[in-house]
Structure 1
Amino acid sequence: MGTVALAVTEGMLHFELSVAYEVFGSGPVGGAASWYELAVCGPESVRVGRFRMEPDHGLDRLPLADTVIVPGWADVDVAPPADLVDAVRAAHEAGARVASLCTGAFVLAAAGLLDGRRATTHWAHTGVLAARHPRVAVDPDVLYVDNGSVLTSAGKAAALDLCLHLVRLDHGSSVANAVARRLVVPPHRGGGQAQFVTTPVPAPDNHPLADLFPWVLERLDRPLTVEDLARRARMSSRHLGRHFRSVTGTTPLQWLLTQRIRHAQELLETTDDSVDAVAAATGMGTATTLRRHFNRTVGVPPDTYRRTFRTRTATAPDVNGHSPQRP
């Protein structure tokens, strides 16, 4: 947690900068006991998009931050400023977690932070990033990549996905969900960039699966199958699969598993239910099945996840805004 520093300079994109400022600079939400100290770092005066702003600190403040956010870089054909690249590199060497939003990945790549690592950026520029920095494993099909101390996001709205991911890592899912509710956005989007390259994002009630999604989320404790979903959607399983790929970028089963895991995270954070009870409530059946899928998806077993996040979110409201019951 601690200090989040936004690294700004001439040529930054204002949308990505605003996203980071809104998430990390708006104060505690969702019952979080503490929040981030936000610092805007850059030259004395910079133009961001059509606006001019005066940062609070110079770039020499970056190495003192716990997390450094590099917003999108407007002109990928122009090398980012050397002082920005040097400051970002110094921050990482000092132990800061460094995250880029959209084309901010070009700054991280110039600093050498992406060498030998998997990374992403806006789908329109992934080819340029890969060609210019061949030591970077560019993945054009994801919304963001988490390498631990170095993170990158895809374009525009994916910047918000990554910022919420950072909040989730620091404060847990309940707090991240509360931030998402305040911003009126989904707390977690499945799929990858492929769904946005040629297919516009559908309006919430303007796609064939609009009625199916809430129906499924109310029945996660049941052993639903693809056939069950297809029957509810009044279409064949094959037709359902095509719609799922178009709308979510993934398969019905993978989407369903993701929702079960997200629900399990919330129950582990906000209740004292046993792992067996959580498995039943999320449709996993047994604790063994839950542990296998949870460990594969989240990276740690359910018990470890609970120990990590329960103390941070035990008093946070659940996804419906209700405070959890204490024993």
Structure 2
Amino acid sequence: MHRVGYLLTEGFQIMCLATQTVFEFANIVAGKAVYRLENFSVGGGTLRSSLGMSVETLPLAAPGLADTWMVTGTLTPLTPPGDEVLASVRGFVDAARRTAGLCTGSFVLAQAGVLDGRRATTHWAYANKLRELHPKIDVEEDRIFIVDGPIWTSAGMTAALDMALGMVEKDLGNEMARSVAHKMVMHQRRSGGQCQHSELLSLSPRTDRIQSALDYARRHLSRPLCVEELAQVAHLSPRQFTRVFTAETGQSSAKAIEGLRLEAARLMIEQSRHSLEVVAKETGFRDRRHLREVFVRVLGVPPQAVRRDARQV
């Protein structure tokens, strides 16, 4: 049986406990108790979350209480959690099979010195601060989650669910992970190599006209998409569309569509076995060479590296 311990501190972020549902459903799918979950704190007893909800915890004692430790984050990650907490983390990391920082829980691992010399991620809003405070860490703020040996770290909020699902896949196989994702209505199971941001979400247009044009573009990426066509969808003249689009999104429509194509291609590469020629055609790139050029220019890596990383998670 896999024993999963959650280390909570006062004011922990309640969303971190949502990851327990992934392990709960793994037990349901398996038809037996594959995972045992317990909540811990340094002294045990009742702890209050950032939302004010109370959770009972067991006291930390011997480091062998769990083989997987999930270190939860708080809304004040820049405040060290205390020497006892950090000493406990250092103690159980050596004895555990793996240790994970959920969202800003990465700061606890960093403050304990666990992440020095490793790749790690955290909530995008705090990534630069993590890099600034802990220069020995290779912070990759654009990743959903990262596995570096026995140390796992996740980005914010729902990314921790993807990381927990990645653990289930590592422990019990791909089919089990797919079944759990299906039961949890996670229609899109994201691998760790994915970007934290949705390209469409990051554009954040202010009006429905531009939003409708972007939605249209995303549904028709395999086609050439000219300004005239998008302007017609937005019920604007091409000149008006160009001006309004740039004002609302901060970039040209051509640049935005390239971002949507890149995001769609990346998802196809990570989640399917389609050839790069098929991926390029389906997402609107001229050919495989054009696809590679954009990947290297924007992401710094070729599409083959993205596929390789996704399969290693």
Q: TM-score, normalised by structure 2?
A: 0.62
Match of 1:267 in 2: 272
Of 254, 258, 264, the residue aligned with 1:253 is 258
In structure 1, C-alpha distance between the alignment counterparts of 2:67 and 2:178, rounded to whole Å:
25
Q: 1:38 to 1:278 in 2, by over 3 A?
A: farther
Larger Rg: 2
Q: Tell me the residue number matched to 2:4.
A: 5
Whether 2:245 is the aligned partner of 1:240: answer: yes
> Which residue number in structure 2 is paired with residue 39 of structure 1?
37
Contact 2:145 2:163 in 1 (8 A): no
Find the aligned partners of 1:127 and 1:136 in 2 and give their Cα distance.
Answer: 11
1:161 corresponds to 2:150? no
Match of 2:223 in 1: 222
**CA distance in structure 2 between the aligned counterparts of 1:191 and 1:301, rounded to whole angstroms:** 15
Match of 1:22 in 2: 21
Aligned residue in 1 for 2:146: 146
Q: Displacement, 1:89?
A: 3.3
Q: Alpha-carbon deviation of 1:80?
A: 2.2
Greater mean alpha carbon deviation, residues 121-130 or residues 13-22: 121-130
Deviation at 1:71, TM superposition (A): 1.2
1:60 aligns with 2:63: yes
Give the C-alpha shift of residue 216 in structure 1.
Answer: 3.2
2:104–2:123 Cα contact (<8 Å) kept: yes
Contact 1:3 1:38 in 2 (8 A): yes
The Cα offsets for residues 47-72 of structure 1, whole Å up to 9 and x where unpaired, read as: 1423132459867246623xx32111
AA matched with 1:148:
D
Relative to the length of structure 1, the TM-score reads 0.60
Cα displacement (A) at 1:281: 3.0
Distance 1:136 1:287, change over 3 A: closer
Looking at structure 2, the residues matched to 33 and 225 of structure 1 have their Cα atoms a distance apart, in angstroms, of 53
Instruction: Say if 1:36 and 1:240 are closer, same or farther in 2 by CA, change over 3 A.
Output: farther
- Cα drift, residue 173 of structure 1: 12
Residue 296 of structure 1 aligns with which residue?
A: 301
Three-state SS of the structure 1 residue aligned to 2:99 is strand
User: Are the structure 2 counterparts of residues 237 and 51 from structure 1 closer, same or farther at C-alpha, using a change threshold of 3 Å?
Assistant: same
Deviations 1:59-107 (A, max 9, x none): 7246623xx3211135546532445434433554457443323331221
Q: Which runs of 5+ in 1 are unaligned?
A: 313-327
Pairwise CA distance, 1:20: 1.6
Contact 1:264 1:278 (C-alpha < 8 Å) held by counterparts:
yes
CA distance in 2, matches of 1:226, 1:70: 48
Q: Is the 8 A contact 1:39 1:57 kept in 2?
A: no
Q: Secondary structure at the match of 2:148?
A: coil
Q: Give distance in 1, aligned partners of 2:269 and 2:48.
A: 41
Q: Which amino acid aligns with 1:105?
A: S
d(CA) in 1 for partners of 2:303, 2:65: 30
CA shift digits 1:137-185 (9 cap, x unpaired): 667x65756363445445xxx2212432563684779967983894578
Question: Structure 1 residues 16 and 93 mapped into 2: Cα distance closer, same or farther (>3 Å)?
Answer: same
Partners in 1 of 2:89 and 2:99 — Cα distance?
8
Match of 1:179 among 161, 178, 181: 181
Q: Which amino acid aligns with 2:25?
A: S
Q: What secondary structure is seen at the aligned counterpart in 1 of 2:220?
A: coil
Report the Cα distance in structure 2 between the residues aligned to 1:71 and 1:64, rounded to whole angstroms. Answer: 16
Asked if the contact 2:116/2:136 (under 8 Å) is kept, the reply is yes
1:195-227 CA-to-partner distances (Å, cap 9, x unmatched) read: 99xx9x899xx8555434543343233344677
User: What is the distance in 1 between the residues matched to 2:113 and 2:214?
Assistant: 42
Residues 9, 33 of structure 1: alpha-carbon distance in 2 compared, 3 angstrom cutoff: closer
* Count of aligned pairs: 287
- List per-residue Cα deviations over 1:209-257 (Å, max 9, x = no partner): 54345433432333446775565444634543554469xxx94422321
SS in structure 1 at match of 2:158: helix
Work out the CA distance in 2 between the residues paired with 1:284 and 1:145.
Answer: 28
Q: CA-atom RMSD, angstroms?
A: 5.2
Structure 2 matches for 1:74-85, cutoff 5 A? Answer: 76=77, 79-85=80-86
Q: Which moved more, 1:159-168 or 1:115-124?
A: 115-124
- Whether the aligned pair in 2 keeps the contact of 1:46 and 1:54 (CA below 8 Å) is yes
Deviation at 1:262, TM superposition (A): 1.0
